[in-house]
């Protein structure tokens, strides 16, 4: 999915050695703290270097993707096939599952940060090769950066890399990135740059490179497919990094196939029928009532609840504040008061979820109670620009319907807020001063009817008519790209080092940029100021305080109706077919862990 971006991979030297003295090359780069593995480490602990190569795994996309129509994941229009970024493209640095903020050299043999922190230099591995056998050069790295920064690529890249001034080729295998300001995160960010050959597309404008198969350096090539439906990736027998320490014991399958289904019911039944091997379950009802039966009892199918140290995922009904009816935050707060999460978790979710409280839930970055001294220091320059309650009242929590209150009491509060914002009930509907009725369309890819139904009923008690609009992924993506919706749902995976990606998600510059991640349309100079402070953080302590301040301000804006998250991952897979390393990962996504580290039994 295009919105699952390239971040989350990178790593670092200790902050003390990173910024002191002259620049020096190292095998890894860290935003904060020390690195775990020395330069000559043989392999990551969570990978098995003796894992068997061969076999096939079949799985489904972790998103609601229902088709694909291009092989270029970096342009705005269309949908690329699942797995393409992970399996075909590579970055300068790569992450590890046991250090949340650390990455090690992949295409880059080493990395050196300038003493003034205004540039970073990568020296490429001379063995690095694209899948057509040509070497990966500094010119290819610069070409990849310049292309993604052009208007021919999706606009979010110009936001993500917006603080990078330029890429400069300083040798055949050496490239330097110059920054607009000093930042501990920017070397991390450019280390996540996907690299592709200058020959990809044969000189055509990049936005016309649609069906050309990528010329990249990853462990897999695009194989057989039913175009738009299913796709296989074949392991490259000449993969240049197969013996590299960061790749040893990883990507063990000869073939990886993604099967694409129109809806969740068809997908579940296909799994039980043996059409594919692995699935992650996001529905509590499906987990409790569908992933059961004789095949699970016999061990032919297995299910597991995987633990992790990941920050909690953010998920909610996102409100499009570009719509006039949603511009008043009192209206948005009222919409949150109409949601009875406690009843839904008890009656529909088997009490298996935890309520999302804020934008960085279940992490060090989540704002709690009153702001502490460090957080107040971050907020102080905004005193007089922000509402006083941000400084002297506890951070807003999602409304509860637990006793002694209840939904009725919350609806009374919602009615008062709506009246204060100019919405009153008359002539059978909630109307504004112009007499326009308050209606809401919920744009969803399917599966949300059951949970949206009770919310529709509660909104109706306020006089609001809510409608459910189901669409396939391609249409949803198009409407997201141009912000044509009232409310919709997205899930943002938790991160242990949020940074520049937040500028695209909440920055004013992205609010009206088609294809950006600023789905809710946040446009607030105070948020922009805090985002800049987040990106400029040079210690983890600074990052924590600044993200808590950002969380607090965003939560006071009531841009979303918070939903729920599951602690850990629910997965099911075909028993007796696969093996996995004995050392469990700590910071990971389950699908990525399976692709990288599992292997087929003989």
User: In terms of C-beta density within 10 A (0-12 exposed, 13-18 middle, 19 or more buried), how is residue 330 classed?
Assistant: middle
CA count, 13 A, side-chain hemisphere, 207: 9
User: In terms of C-beta density within 10 A (0-12 exposed, 13-18 middle, 19 or more buried), how is residue 237 classed?
Assistant: exposed
Res. 8: pLDDT tops 60: no
For 588, the token pair is 């990971």
Tell me how crowded residue 20 is: count the other CB atoms within 10 A of its CB: 9
Across residues 440-465, what is the average pLDDT?
93
Cα–Cα–Cα angle for 391, 338, 263, rounded to 5 degrees:
115
- Distance separating alpha carbons of residues 34 and 101, to the nearest angstrom: 10
What's the whole-number average pLDDT of the chain?
92
**Beta strands in 357-504, from DSSP E residues, in sequence order:** 424-426, 429-431, 439-444, 465-470, 487-492
**What confidence category does residue 415 fall into, taking pLDDT thresholds of 50, 70 and 90?**
very high
- Distance separating alpha carbons of residues 261 and 389, to the nearest angstrom: 48
For 363, the token pair is 């992490």
Res. 11: pLDDT tops 60: no
Higher-pLDDT residue of 96, 101: 96
Nearest CA to 29 among 143, 261, 229, 190?
190
For 520, the token pair is 């809710």
For 591, the token pair is 């699908």
What proportion of the chain, given as a percentage, has pLDDT over 90? 79
Res. 393: pLDDT tops 90: yes
Across residues 529-551, what is the average pLDDT?
94
Distances (CA, A) of 59 to 62, 217, 240, 262, 520: 9, 23, 26, 14, 32
What digits encode the pLDDT tens for the residues 18-63? 333 346 789 999 988 778 999 999 999 999 999 999 999 999 998 7
Element (H, E) at 332: helix 329-337
- Distance separating alpha carbons of residues 510 and 319, to the nearest angstrom: 16
User: In terms of C-beta density within 10 A (0-12 exposed, 13-18 middle, 19 or more buried), how is residue 298 classed?
Assistant: exposed
Cα–Cα–Cα angle for 129, 252, 259, rounded to 5 degrees:
100
Residue 298: the pLDDT is 96
Please name the residue that has the structure tokens 């989350």: 8
Q: Which residues contact 64 (CB under 8 A, 6 or more apart)?
A: 445, 446, 447, 473, 476
Name the pairing type of β-strands 28-30 and 230-235: unpaired
What digits encode the pLDDT tens for the residues 449-458? 889 999 999 9
Contact between 389 and 551 (Cβ < 8 Å): no
Crossing angle for the helix pair 407-420 and 329-337, nearest 10 degrees?
A: 170
Q: Which residues contact 160 (CB under 8 A, 6 or more apart)?
A: 5, 7, 189, 500, 501, 503, 504
Residue-range domains of the chain with CATH: 15-51+65-220+236-250 (3.40.190.10), 314-565 (3.10.105.10)
Bond into 371 cis (ω within 30): no
* Stated pTM of the model: 0.82
For 330, the token pair is 């009192």
Contact between 180 and 190 (Cβ < 8 Å): no
β-bridge mates for residue 95, sequence order? 103
- The helix/strand/coil state of 401 is coil
DSSP state at residue 349: S
What digits encode the pLDDT tens for the residues 355-371? 999 999 999 999 999 99
Residue 120: the pLDDT is 96
For 165, the token pair is 């001034």
Res. 524: pLDDT tops 60: yes
- Distance separating alpha carbons of residues 280 and 595, to the nearest angstrom: 13
Res. 122: pLDDT tops 70: yes
Residue 23: the pLDDT is 62
Res. 322: pLDDT tops 70: yes
- Distance separating alpha carbons of residues 319 and 322, to the nearest angstrom: 9
Residue 528: the pLDDT is 98
Nearest CA to 250 among 485, 592, 578, 602?
592
492 φ/ψ angles, rounded to the nearest 5 degrees: -110, 115
- Distance separating alpha carbons of residues 99 and 247, to the nearest angstrom: 16
What proportion of the chain, given as a percentage, has pLDDT over 70? 96
- The helix/strand/coil state of 571 is strand
Contact between 157 and 194 (Cβ < 8 Å): no
Q: Which residues contact 408 (CB under 8 A, 6 or more apart)?
A: none
Bond into 315 cis (ω within 30): no
- Distance separating alpha carbons of residues 240 and 429, to the nearest angstrom: 65
Contact between 46 and 102 (Cβ < 8 Å): no
**What confidence category does residue 548 fall into, taking pLDDT thresholds of 50, 70 and 90?**
very high
């Amino acid at each position: 999915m295009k919105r699952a971006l390239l971040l989350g991979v990178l790593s670092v030297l200790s902050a003390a050695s990173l910024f002191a003295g002259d620049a020096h090359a190292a095998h890894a780069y860290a935003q904060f703290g020390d690195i775990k593995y020395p330069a000559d480490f043989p392999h990551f602990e969570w990978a098995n270097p003796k894992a068997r190569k061969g076999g096939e795994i079949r799985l489904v996309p972790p998103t609601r993707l229902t088709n694909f129509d291009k092989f270029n994941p970096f342009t705005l229009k269309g949908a690329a096939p699942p797995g393409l970024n992970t399996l075909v493209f590579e970055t300068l640095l790569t992450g590890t599952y046991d250090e949340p903020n650390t990455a090690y050299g992949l295409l880059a043999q080493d990395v050196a940060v300038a003493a003034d922190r205004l540039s970073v230099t990568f020296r490429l591995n001379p063995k690095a090769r694209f899948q057509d056998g040509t070497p990966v050069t500094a010119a290819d790295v610069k070409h990849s950066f310049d292309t993604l920064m052009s208007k021919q690529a999706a606009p979010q890249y110009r936001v993500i890399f917006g603080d990078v001034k330029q890429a400069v080729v300083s040798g055949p295998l050496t490239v330097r990135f110059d920054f607009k300001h000093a930042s501990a995160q920017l070397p991390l960010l450019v280390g996540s740059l996907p690299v592709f050959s200058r020959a990809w597309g044969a000189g055509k404008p990049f936005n016309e490179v649609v069906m050309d198969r990528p010329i990249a350096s990853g462990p897999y090539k695009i194989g057989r497919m039913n175009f738009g439906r299913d796709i296989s990736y074949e392991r490259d027998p000449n993969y240049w990094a197969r013996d590299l320490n960061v790749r040893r014991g990883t990507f063990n399958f000869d073939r990886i196939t993604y099967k694409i289904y129109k809806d969740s019911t068809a997908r579940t039944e296909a799994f039980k029928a043996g059409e594919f091997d692995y699935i992650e379950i996001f529905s509590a009802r499906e987990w409790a009532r569908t992933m059961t039966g004789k095949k699970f009892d016999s061990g032919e199918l297995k299910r597991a609840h995987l633990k992790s140290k990941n920050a909690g995922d953010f998920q909610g009904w996102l409100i499009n504040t570009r719509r006039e009816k949603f511009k008043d935050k009192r209206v948005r707060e009222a919409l949150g008061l109409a949601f009875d999460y406690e009843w839904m978790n008890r009656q529909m979710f088997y009490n298996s979820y935890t309520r999302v409280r804020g934008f960085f839930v279940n992490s060090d970055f989540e704002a709690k109670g009153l702001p502490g001294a460090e957080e107040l220091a971050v907020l102080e320059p905004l005193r007089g620009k922000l509402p006083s309650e941000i400084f002297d009242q506890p951070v807003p929590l999602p409304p509860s319907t637990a006793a002694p209150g209840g939904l009725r009491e919350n609806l009374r509060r919602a009615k008062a807020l709506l009246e204060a914002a100019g919405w009153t009930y008359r002539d059978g509907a909630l109307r504004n001063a112009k007499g326009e009725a308050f209606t809401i369309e919920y744009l969803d890819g399917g599966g949300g009817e059951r949970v949206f139904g009770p919310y529709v009923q509660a909104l109706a008690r306020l006089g609001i008519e809510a409608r459910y609009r189901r669409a396939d992924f391609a249409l949803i993506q198009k409407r997201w790209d141009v912000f044509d919706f009232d409310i919709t749902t997205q899930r943002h995976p938790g991160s242990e080092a949020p940074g520049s990606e937040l500028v695209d998600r909440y920055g004013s510059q992205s609010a009206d940029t088609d294809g950006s991640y600023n789905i809710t349309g946040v446009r607030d100079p105070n948020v922009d100021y805090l985002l800049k402070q987040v990106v400029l953080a040079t210690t983890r302590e600074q990052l924590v305080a600044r993200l808590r301040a950002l969380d607090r301000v965003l939560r006071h804006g009531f841009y979303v109706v918070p939903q729920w998250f599951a602690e850990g991952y629910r997965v099911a897979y075909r028993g007796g077919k696969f093996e996995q390393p004995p050392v469990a990962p700590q910071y990971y996504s389950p699908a990525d862990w399976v692709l990288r580290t599992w292997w087929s039994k003989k």
